[in-house]
């Protein structure tokens, strides 16, 4: 079994085990240079945190391990195709690549909203089920101006 299949299988096994621990059926493993540096299991209901998806927790843990807010050169193995929230996190963390076992359709069949959220993000803001409204405050640009003028800023 090649490395990719082995690490992905580890994520699937963690996901199956997480259900019996009060978690959702999702897990993720982050690997660098052939070594697992972090794992994460879905804890949404268990920790009353809608952002506690497996991939988010694994990314946060990997960053703690490496002392960095970026994970260049790392690979994410997820038991299921990442939802838009987690995919966004993958981009912000600048992971190198992602492998997944189940798809968003499998997740939808199991009762999870991943496919619905992908469809919503593809719609114009005004047509979404959750209303998104742009209010053009005159003060809106102040934070970005302060940022541009802040000499000690860390770009990311």
Restricting to residues 6-25, which ones interact with a copy of itself according to CB under 8 A? 8-9, 12-13, 15-16, 18-20, 22, 24-25
CA 108, CA 100: separation in Å to the nearest integer? Answer: 15
Residue 117, Cβ density class (10 Å: 0-12 exposed, 13-18 middle, ≥19 buried):
middle
Give whichever of 1 and 34 is closer to a copy of itself, judged by the CB atom: 1
Distance of CA 95 to the CA centre of its chain: 11
Tell me if 39 contacts a copy of itself by CB under 8 A. Answer: no
Minimum distance of a copy of itself from residue 25's CB (angstroms): 4
Identify the bridge partners of residue 36 per DSSP, sorted by sequence position: 31
Contacts to a copy of itself from residues 116-155, by CB under 8 A: 116-118, 120-122, 130-137, 139-144, 146-148, 150, 152-155
81 is catalytic: no
């Amino acid at each position: 079994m090649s490395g990719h299949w082995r690490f992905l299988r580890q994520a699937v096994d963690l996901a199956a085990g997480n259900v019996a621990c009060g978690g959702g059926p999702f897990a993720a493993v982050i690997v660098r240079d052939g070594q697992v540096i972090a794992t994460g299991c879905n804890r949404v209901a268990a920790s009353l945190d809608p952002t506690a998806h497996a991939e988010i927790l694994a990314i946060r843990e990997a960053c703690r391990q490496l002392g960095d807010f970026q994970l260049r050169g790392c690979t994410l193995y997820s038991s299921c195709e990442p939802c838009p929230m987690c995919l966004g996190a993958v981009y912000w963390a600048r992971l190198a690549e992602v492998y997944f076992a189940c798809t968003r359709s499998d997740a939808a069949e199991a009762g999870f909203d991943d496919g619905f959220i992908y469809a919503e993000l593809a719609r114009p803001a005004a047509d979404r089920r959750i209303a998104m409204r742009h209010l053009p405050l005159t003060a809106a640009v102040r934070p970005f101006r302060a940022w541009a003028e802040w000499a000690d800023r860390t770009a990311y």
